[in-house]
Amino acid sequence: MENLLITILLTSIPILLAGLGELVTEKSGVLNLGVEGMMLCGAVAALGSVLIFGNPYIGILFGAVAGILISTVFSFFTITLMTNQVATGLGLTIFATALTGLIGEPFVGKTAASLPKLEIIFLSDIPYLGKILFSNDILVYFAIFLIFFIHFGFQNTKLGIIIRAVGDNHDSAHSIGYSVKLVRWISTSFGGMCAGMGGAYIPLALTPHWSEGMTAGKGWIALALVVFASWMPIRLLIGALIFGGITILQFVAQARGWDVPSQFLNMLPYLATILALALISFKLKHNNYAPACLGKHFLGNK
Amino acid sequence: MIEFTPRKIQSSFWTILSPIISITMTILIGSLIFKILSYPVIESLYQVFVSPFSRPDRIADIFVKACPLIIIGLGLIFCFKANIWNIGAEGQFILGALCAGSFALLFPETKTYTLLFSMFLIGFVGGAIWASIPAILKVRLNVNEILVSLMLVYVAMLFIDFVVRGPLRDPMSFGFPLSKVYPDGAIISKVDFPFIGFLGQFHYGIFITLILCPLIWFFINKTLPGFQIKIFGSSARASEFAGFNKNKITIYVLLVSGGLSGVAGVIEVSANMGRLQPEVSFGYGFTAIIVAFLGRLNPYGVVIAGIIIATAKLGADNAQMVLGIPKVVTGIFEGMLLFFLLAGETIQKYKISIRKDN
């Protein structure tokens, strides 16, 4: 049981990290559909750097930097050149899937070192909870920290409130003197960094091998989770854990020998995403939490 | 500081020029990538863009490859014109192929082409049903169609995998996940050109694009529903004031686009595979998005774009064989091409000037 809960937590980390980043990006009014692509960049950069340097922490760094770099391509086109965000995000995913396929080819069949578990003294000795919560790798702690950081950041810090202002009404934010485009660049880069780290987590902790398109739709699920969480970081954790649980269900079913074709079990995360989106849209039919300027261009001439 | 001023009149000249510039830019940066990866640049470009034209049968195969791209792309015109983002054409393609294939396998001895015609119908319905899921969720609950249609791609891939490994698996397939071979009446045959004979895999299904293209052009440009779709896409508010039913338009464009993807699936399997297998599409549904944009959402443009992209796809296969360049590079080219096309749209819509900050 303990192991099961730990596995669920670990499985949810890539979606959680990517979702948190996308949440910040979307709060600033930018819809980046390239999360899947940015995660792949993070994954391949992490794996490659670990194979070269042998240190998994370097992998996190490279994953984050790769995420930021690829997100600047998106920022340049959508924020500076004002291209359509949906299509550019799609383009980014197509581009990054191919690019990482090309870069990752030499890594096929090689195994990367995993992130070590860090036990927190005293806390990890608490029965049950200690094992589950306080003896994990650094990115787990970081992801949990990030939830609260973003939550309080949006509530209590000036930067958080500026980001929200830019996302909810860019004209007003501009008229009081904030640079809408700069804020969006920063938020999108933050999203790229988180997606890169989320992607990096896959080879560094879950499956230490490279395979083309290894994120298998996790980036898209993260995008859906942001909607499901109504742009609230703490709800994102709940959503990510549910998805971790659903993904793990396949392995439980296999281990227990349930007589369900594996394909149907593999479908569950995707079907659950659709169901979650439908349920949340049903509930919020008249109360939309989405940032008001999400996906809208800012000319910046006024 | 860069300043964008919306243009009052958009030049139609630019509509044609921008894809050409985009392709040129893509080739330039593509050469740079080849250079960085230390592949011979000229030879690589030759393989990707010219070698598919080097033999008549290769030229014929361009059309074979372009056929599904064009048919899906033609359907996507409807969605994208209406500003509905169907990115799940891949799944609709699979469902169309699967439904029609399952139907064909019910009549193993059929030799008449009535079977093939019913398959087209069933494939259309299959694809349309798959697209109706995002459509209904969008209309009823305002669920984002992008995410739903994409999630259904994964579901469709897993579903066909289950079907060909389970219920439809040929007992004589030696354990391979393959269905039985289609009956004769379900096969689209290759074209036997007079005096020349067969050319590559060139099949009769390709002629369907020739019929569809002008039909769709007429529908979009000369009929009221086509007009409604365009107005809805360019200004949802204006279309509301005009009294157009936005739900009806949303469902309609998704059904047509899903249906056409389904038909593309039927043709692809009936002409090139002759049986169902786990992989019936090779990313056609995603590539067709690029095709639709490169074709500037114009049916004739989509045909040309389909041929260009198909050329590059076949060329990349050749480049892989001759030079060992992984063929995923086409994806890099496709992504870049889309970026440049979208940037071209900005230049078309806005006048860009550089102003000094005071």
Residue of chain A nearest B325, judged by CA positions: A102
- pLDDT value at position A300? 67
Mean pLDDT of B240-261: 90
- pLDDT value at position A302? 46
- pLDDT value at position B131? 95
Please provide the DSSP assignment of B285-326 as one string. Answer: HHHHHHHHHHTTT-HHHHHHHHHHHHHHHHHHHHHHHHH---
B154–A270: do the CB atoms touch at under 8 Å? yes
Distance from CA of A55 to the nearest CA of B (A): 26
Q: For residue A265, is it within any domain?
A: no
- pLDDT value at position B275? 85
Q: For residue A252, is it within any domain?
A: no
Mean pLDDT of B161-183: 83
pLDDT, averaged across chain B: 87
Q: For residue A162, is it within any domain?
A: yes
- pLDDT value at position B231? 85
Q: Using the CB atoms, write b or e for B136-145: b if 16+ within 10 Å.
A: bbbbebebbb
Residue B245 and residue B82 in contact, taking contact as beta carbons nearer than 8 Å:
no
Which one is predicted more confidently, B115 or A121?
B115
Tens of pLDDT along B71-119?
A: 999 999 999 999 899 999 999 999 999 999 999 888 887 778 888 889 9
Q: Which of B147, B152, B289 sits opposite A90 (nearest CB)?
A: B289
- pLDDT value at position A147? 93
B144–A277: do the CB atoms touch at under 8 Å? yes
Distance of CA A162 to CAs A28, A154, A175, A294, B257, Å?
A: 9, 9, 13, 15, 41
Interface test with B, best of A274, A289, A294, A299 (most B CBs within 10 A): A274
Percent above pLDDT 70 for chain B = 98
Sequence-distant (6+) residues with CB within 8 A of A73 are A92, A95, B339
Distance from CA of B132 to the nearest CA of A (A): 13
Distance from CA of A132 to the nearest CA of B (A): 31
Q: For residue A111, is it within any domain?
A: yes
A227–B161: do the CB atoms touch at under 8 Å? no
The structure tokens listed for B352 are: 């860009």
Distance of CA B57 to CAs A213, B11, B199, B277, B305, Å?
A: 33, 39, 5, 25, 20
Percent above pLDDT 90 for chain A = 33
Q: For residue A249, is it within any domain?
A: no
Tens of pLDDT along A188-244?
A: 999 999 999 999 999 988 888 888 888 888 999 999 899 888 888 888 999 999 888
CA–CA gap between residue A33 and residue A86 (Å, rounded): 6
Q: For residue A153, is it within any domain?
A: yes
Mean pLDDT of B10-36: 84
Quote ipTM for the complex.
Answer: 0.88
The pLDDT of residue A148 is above 60: yes
- pLDDT value at position A288? 67
Tens of pLDDT along B174-221?
A: 778 888 888 887 888 787 777 777 777 888 888 999 899 999 999 988
Of A181-195, A248-262, B28-42, the one with minimum mean pLDDT is A248-262
The pLDDT of residue A57 is above 70: yes
Mean pLDDT of A135-141: 83
Q: Which of A92, A285, A299 sits opposite B335 (nearest CB)?
A: A92
Residue A188: alpha-carbon gap to chain centroid: 12
Q: How many CB atoms lie under 10 A from the CB of residue A263?
A: 18
CA–CA gap between residue A46 and residue A55 (Å, rounded): 10
Residue among B150, B145, B125 nearest B135 (CA): B145
B147–A90: do the CB atoms touch at under 8 Å? no
Is B279 an 8 Å CB contact of chain A? no
Longest CA–CA separation in chain A, Å: 65
Percent above pLDDT 90 for chain B = 34
Please provide the DSSP assignment of A239-284 as one string. Answer: HHHHHHHHHHHHHHHHHHT-SS-HHHHHHHHHHHHHHHHHHHHHHT
Distance of CA A180 to CAs A33, A78, A81, B16, Å?
A: 20, 13, 14, 33
Q: Is the dihedral of CA A208, A214, A219, A220 positive or negative?
A: negative
Q: What is the DSSP letter of A211?
A: -
Chain B residues with CB under 8 Å of A86 CB are: 85, 146
CB pairs below 8 Å between A and B: how many? 139
Interface test with A, best of B155, B309, B336, B358 (most A CBs within 10 A): B155
A271–B338: do the CB atoms touch at under 8 Å? no
Distance of CA B162 to CAs A34, B108, B155, B179, Å?
A: 29, 21, 11, 11
Is B32 an 8 Å CB contact of chain A? no
pLDDT, averaged across chain A: 86
> CA angle, B118 as apex, B154 and B305 as ends, to 5°?
55
Q: For residue A231, is it within any domain?
A: no
The pLDDT of residue A262 is above 70: yes
pLDDT band, very low/low/confident/very high, at A301 (cuts 50, 70, 90):
low
- pLDDT value at position A173? 83
Residue B2: φ, ψ to 5°? -85, 135
Domain that holds residue A53: 2-115+124-216
Is A108 an 8 Å CB contact of chain B? no
The domains located in chain B, with CATH, are: 67-315 (1.10.3470)
Mean pLDDT of B20-49: 86
Distance from CA of B322 to the nearest CA of A (A): 17
B158–A266: do the CB atoms touch at under 8 Å? yes
- pLDDT value at position B217? 93
- pLDDT value at position B337? 87
The pLDDT of residue B26 is above 60: yes
B158–A99: do the CB atoms touch at under 8 Å? no
Q: Which of B144, B331, B342 sits opposite A97 (nearest CB)?
A: B331
Chain A residues with CB under 8 Å of B350 CB are: 82, 299
Is B169 an 8 Å CB contact of chain A? no
- pLDDT value at position A64? 94
Q: How many CB atoms lie under 10 A from the CB of residue A176?
A: 8
Looking at the 3D structure of chain A, how many domains does it have?
1
Residue among A233, A65, A237, A67 nearest A153 (CA): A233
Which one is predicted more confidently, B245 or B2?
B245
Is B282 an 8 Å CB contact of chain A? no
- pLDDT value at position B71? 95
- pLDDT value at position B357? 58
Distance from CA of A19 to the nearest CA of B (A): 14
Q: For residue A266, is it within any domain?
A: no
Is A223 an 8 Å CB contact of chain B? yes
